[in-house]
Structure 1
């Protein structure tokens, strides 16, 4: 059950400049609403405050969990999102180490990746390999498992990375993008055929779909944000530029981005903002950052929620806040997946300074 839930959550997942600078330096003195700037004179910035809140949500200091049909399950993919967020913010390094140690524990690892024989999941394998690399580890030996070799074994002749599973193939644009990002960091590099396959999935409007090879190609913000980063790092700037232009065309007046349901939210905006800054679109990134700042819980919020980033700015929902916060940190810092590193990150979970 944990395996299937993790894959479901993985798929679900893989769905002004002056104003920005001013917001980045506001304090928590007397915000007008719960969603206000949680920065402080003591140096706790937006991304640090968000990552600090996320670190405090780790169950037993090691993992994040989700509730599905009233039952709580550990979520390896969401926990890896936290690992990326800690590295991007440069804080909570101790939490990142414990979280990765939990995901790479053999029983937890295999429930997420599959056994490598009858069951092997491309997206999960690639995401874990990238997280190991971000934390300075060796993805060719993760508890005796060579994630790089396993990932390469899942590449089809046409270049697509696919699942090997009795449950079917659930690989998508996120799977392909994470595979390229992880393999680009290896001595052999990412396979050109895999990058070409991803580029060929581009929709006529320039964006990229979550699920390739569908009768109607529908561009998706989250998928495009990941694809753009993977294509840039694998030497396909023209294909990446098309995706960036599409992102710019769908950015809202308030700087935010909406998901497939049309809801402006922190998840889609966080990933899009990350891709925009990584793709040298600073003005659009600054506007997206303003939107994310407006979703961050400040001093008017409950003490336990301060620093978190709400999904859509409505009533604070703990059930969606962990994923929203993790991806918002990526947008707030603008550090692309290809450049993420936990090197130099400090331990501890920063807390916003409220009067």
Structure 2
């Protein structure tokens, strides 16, 4: 029984070489396709004939012709050539799919204010983008990016920045200041001035539940203001907190981006504390981030800069009204913040 003492790499090279010789009729033409010198092709052919133990090519004045043994092997080489071409085409299609794919995650307030205008801008730049988005909690964001489940995540932090992760790059998009929310009949509702926390020491409070970064910040700033807050209700949602405040259950600190429209609510800037949450974008480290993810991160940064310049009174204006500012400015605000009045789910963290 014939036993071939040849490694698989050599076998594929030999079969491909024979197929090219049969197709093109000369060693020189085969060497051009393989991008090898004629001497290197001659050496490869000699090695093949040595290992197979038979003559595979006959050389003549009109070129090279395969022997019957060479022809038998060349048929398999032709199939290898087709498989290589199909594999190359399939991989190119796969890579093109990766180039067009963008998987994004964001906590809900960011999904309401930052994602829609950035997604619209991206669709105009890359019409065939394959984009998907999910709601997430900020605590899960870095793990999803590091694990390859997301190409970009938008997350928030309070006081302490996200823990460094070698697999992830994190950039700051904007600072989202905390504001005071109270019922519209509250004694301070008619004042246009920022509110000092000390002026709210005797109030009942609706707060984010304990153990969260937002709650740690609340505890810190009230302690620095010199009082222990009287906590009436704890929740995981800024929306729930504002709904309760609107019914007279107390006052709350809410991030500016999480403000919701409501005729029973009044909002004022917080004086003196500088309390805020920081909004970040996370992508895979370095060149592991796709060009599309980098482009989208830049678009988010543009939206964030615009959002930071919008006055507090305009941020929560119902986008179906036409009451504020010049027509062009109003249309721009509608385009960027048009879903701000639809925040009906949890918008915390």
Tell me which interval the TM-score lies in, with the shorter structure as reference length: under 0.3
TM-score, normalised to structure 2, is 0.25
Higher relative contact order, chain-length normalized (CA < 8 Å, sep 6+): 1
The structure where strand makes up a greater share of residues is 2
